[in-house]
């Protein structure tokens, strides 16, 4: 049995490991010289794409889905994210970096639009939310609602982002989509829309604090 097959045979591991690897690669940005903030992002984006390909055969709920609710939530969260940005709602004074070239900007927007949503939504919405409800998380339907699991997941999602308040509300909105549609795909789409619009905002307005 290959490593991929071994990983896929463990439902929790296949949902956790790619996310953890991605987070660890994110932590390495800028730690190996100033230029590493850029080439490390490229490396983690490519690694993220590879991990998504590994996950797809084993994580059946990792399928993109389109709905009007996903569009509304995606656009609405973008507007809220920009509007709530302030000193007391942000965990650090400056959380991002300024890309040195258009290629860096393109890679960053692509990564946050196509790679981040599947990895984060599967970890938070498919695994963590249901695991908080019951360790045997696969036995918990995606549309099952539990207030404790809902807010724990939303808060952890928010605190993992520099803009913590917007992040908590964002996590709650994406979880609502999963509950409403009984699938993760709509949350992935909403997350992608939010990140794409945020990426365009950053590039066109020079609002690098969001990166």
pLDDT at 94: 45
Q: What is the mean pLDDT of the chain?
A: 90
Note the pTM of the prediction, 2 decimals: 0.91
Question: Which tens digit of pLDDT belongs to each residue from 94-126?
Answer: 445 566 567 788 888 999 999 999 999 999 999
d(CA 140, CA 170): 22
In sequence order, the β-bridge partners of residue 7 are none
> When comparing pLDDT for 16 and 206, which is higher?
16
């Amino acid at each position: 049995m290959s490593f991929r097959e071994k990983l896929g045979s463990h439902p929790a591991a296949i949902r956790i490991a790619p996310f953890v690897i991605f987070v660890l690669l994110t932590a390495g940005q800028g730690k190996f010289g100033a230029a590493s903030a850029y080439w490390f992002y490229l490396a983690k984006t490519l690694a993220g794409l590879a991990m998504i390909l590994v996950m797809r055969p084993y994580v059946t709920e990792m399928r993109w889905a389109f709905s009007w609710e996903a569009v509304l939530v995606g656009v609405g969260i973008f507007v809220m994210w920009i509007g709530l940005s302030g000193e007391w709602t942000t965990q650090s004074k400056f959380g991002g970096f300024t890309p040195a070239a258009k290629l860096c900007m393109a890679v960053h927007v692509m990564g946050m639009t196509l790679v981040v949503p599947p990895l984060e939504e599967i970890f938070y919405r498919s695994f963590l939310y249901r695991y908080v409800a019951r360790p045997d998380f696969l036995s918990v339907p995606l549309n099952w609602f539990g207030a404790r699991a809902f807010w724990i997941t939303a808060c952890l999602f928010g605190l993992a982002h520099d803009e913590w308040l917007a992040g908590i509300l964002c996590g709650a909105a994406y979880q609502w989509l999963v509950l409403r549609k009984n699938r993760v795909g709509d949350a992935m789409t909403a997350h992608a829309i939010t990140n794409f619009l945020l990426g365009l905002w950053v590039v066109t307005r020079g609002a690098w604090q969001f990166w």
